[in-house]
Amino acid sequence: MSELLQIGAQRPKAPEPDSLELRFSPTAVEELEALKTHYPDLKSCVLPTLWIAQREYGGHLSPEAIAEVAHRLSRSYAEVEGVATFYSMYNTAHKPGRHLIEVCTCLSCHMCGAYRIVDHLEEKLGIKLGETTPDGVFSIHEVECLDACDRAPVLQVGDQYVGPVTPETVDELLERLRSNPDSTVVQLADAVVKVHLRDGKA
């Protein structure tokens, strides 16, 4: 930042609309057009479009992804970035691994040993909460209540809940996930988009 303070320093500019590299696939564009008809106002379409972007950009809402969403919905970049960074299920902070394991550490899970599970995951994968393994396969996040206290301690992977878990079942889960080449992060985003396309009906 210090170099920006210097007088006459060039501050980075927001990308020009013409210079954006649009990466939505034809399917995604089709889905977006269908979604637009659900709302009276394009502003309302920001959330589902961010899910499409999360899927199209491999599970990560990079600044480029946010810019593309803003461009496609004729909103300002800042506004869409504000929305994306507000919600924790949009991965804006960093690119998650192929599989994102979300550990509920709210009251019930905590009482049932959620932090033992966290410790086990951290030891097993050699990373801390909020980090990604160097091979890019696993990320672990701590999340608030997943509304599945009956299955405490519970994990979320993609659109699936796993629980109650023990260190042993966690090991099995990791093995199973390691052999799964498809990203569960992308799969979750796709599932959410599908729900939106059905207008919220299951």
Partner 1 sequence: MVKLTINGIELEAPQGELIVETVKRLGLEIPVFCYHPRMKAVGMCRMCLVETGFKQPDGSVRMMPKPQAGCTLPASEGLVVVTDSEAIHRDRKGVLEFLLINHPLDCPICDRGGECPLQNNTMAYGPSTTRFIEMKRHLPKAFPLSQYVTLDLERCIQCGRCVRFTEEISGDSDLAFRFRGAEMQPSTFQLTDFESRFSGNVIEICPVGALTSAKYRFRARPWDLETSPGVCTECSNGCNVWFDHRAGKQVRINGRANDGVNEEWTCDKGKFGHDWYNSTSRLTKPLVRRGDQFVPASWSEAYEEILAAFADKGGKVAGLTGPRVSNEGLFLFKRLFSEAFGSDNVDHRWRSGPVPTGPVPRPLPIASLESKRHILVFGTHLAEDLPIVHLRVRKAWSQSGATVDVAYSAANEVERFAKASLRCRPGAEAALAKCLLGEAVWSGKATVSDAVRAELAGFNADSAEEKSGVSGATVRAAAARLGEGAVVLTSDRLLDAPEPPSAWKSLKALAEATGSEFVCYPTGTNAAGAELLGLVPDHGLSTWQILEGCKDGKIEALWLVEADPSSTHDAALETVPFLVYQGTLENEAMAYASVVLPMAAPAEQDGTWTNCEGRVQRFRQAIAPPGEAKPAWRVFAECLLRARPSTPFFNPGEVMEEIARVHPVFAPAQYSLLPEEGALVARESLVGEPAGGGG
Q: Give 9 or 202: the residue with its C-beta nearer to partner 1.
A: 9
Tokens of 74: 């004729």
Spatial contact of 80 and 69, defined as CB atoms under 8 Å apart:
yes
Separation between Cα atoms, residue 23 and residue 64, nearest integer Å: 9
Q: What are phi and psi of 132, to 5 degrees?
A: -125, 140
Separation between Cα atoms, residue 3 and residue 21, nearest integer Å: 28
Q: Does 81 contact partner 1 by CB under 8 A? A: yes
Alpha helices in 44-198 (DSSP H): 46-56, 63-73, 77-86, 107-111, 114-125, 167-178, 184-197
Q: Does 44 contact partner 1 by CB under 8 A? A: no
Q: Give 31 or 81: the residue with its C-beta nearer to partner 1.
A: 81
User: What burial letters (b/e) apply to 38-58, b meaning 16+ CB within 10 Å?
Assistant: eeeeeeebbbbbbbbbbbbbb
Q: Does 21 contact partner 1 by CB under 8 A? A: no
Q: Does 61 contact partner 1 by CB under 8 A? A: no
Q: Does 78 contact partner 1 by CB under 8 A? A: yes
Q: Binding residues for partner 1, how many (CB under 8 A)? A: 21
Exactly one of 55, 60, 72, 75 binds partner 1 (CB under 8 A); which one?
A: 75
Q: Does 12 contact partner 1 by CB under 8 A? A: yes
Separation between Cα atoms, residue 177 and residue 60, nearest integer Å: 19
Options 72-80, 137-145, 152-160, 194-202: segment touching partner 1 (CB under 8 A): 72-80
Of residues 82-101, those binding partner 1 (CB under 8 A): 82, 85-86
Q: Does 76 contact partner 1 by CB under 8 A? A: yes
Taking the complex as a whole, the smallest distance from the CB of residue 121 to partner 1 amounts, in Å, to 25
- Coil vs helix vs strand at 47: helix
Q: Give 23 or 43: the residue with its C-beta nearer to partner 1.
A: 43
Contacting residues toward partner 1, per CB under 8 A: 1, 4-5, 9, 11-14, 63, 66-67, 70, 75-79, 81-82, 85-86
